[in-house]
Amino acid sequence: MPLHWQHAVVAVCLCVCAGLSWAEPPKSETEADSIGQFLLSQGLIKQIDYLRERTNVMSSQLALNAMGLIGVPYVWGGSQTNKGLDCSGLVQAVYQQASGLLLPRRAAEQAAAATPITDQELRPGDLVFFNTLKRAFSHVGIYVGEGKFVHAPKPGAAVRVEDMTKRYWQRRFEGARRVDLAQSRQPRSDTITP
């Protein structure tokens, strides 16, 4: 099979695995089994499983790294875990440590660099954005699961976990974004420490 067709098949498989099934589903078990056999024979199922597993590992690593920074003091413009962080500095530090990606510095730029997702699609490691300064995407945090996110809230406070279902955050929620981790390196086994 030509290389460009292999890429197309992988893309279709990834869309199906991600729940973006825009194609008609197989009409029978035999048809579904034929598709499965084809994917297996081309080595694509292993690639899909690897990508799915890597995504789950990376999401967990991002959430763990964010949780590891709880208690680091808020410092406006801060981007050093040992001195202090602001909200976007926290996100930047966690993503760089866990995935090797250097995200833009400001929250609005981070929003622009990531893909919008619905709040029902949220998984650990995704970014959640809020309007806390009467401007779009003025605050960012890292989703850690079960409606919770880690962020650097304000001067005089420290990195902490918040509940997105609280009225304050619900009223200011601007949306969620997912960073494309496809180009990232393997996650490190160590986490950021304050």
Catalytic residue numbers read 87, 139, 151
CB of 74 closer than 8 Å to CB of 84? yes
- In which element (H, E) is residue 171 found? helix 167-172
| CA distances from residue 29 to 12, 24, 59, 77, 89 in whole angstroms, order as listed | 19, 14, 33, 57, 50
Q: Are 71 and 158 in contact (CB under 8 A)?
A: yes
- CB count within 10 Å of CB 151 equals 26
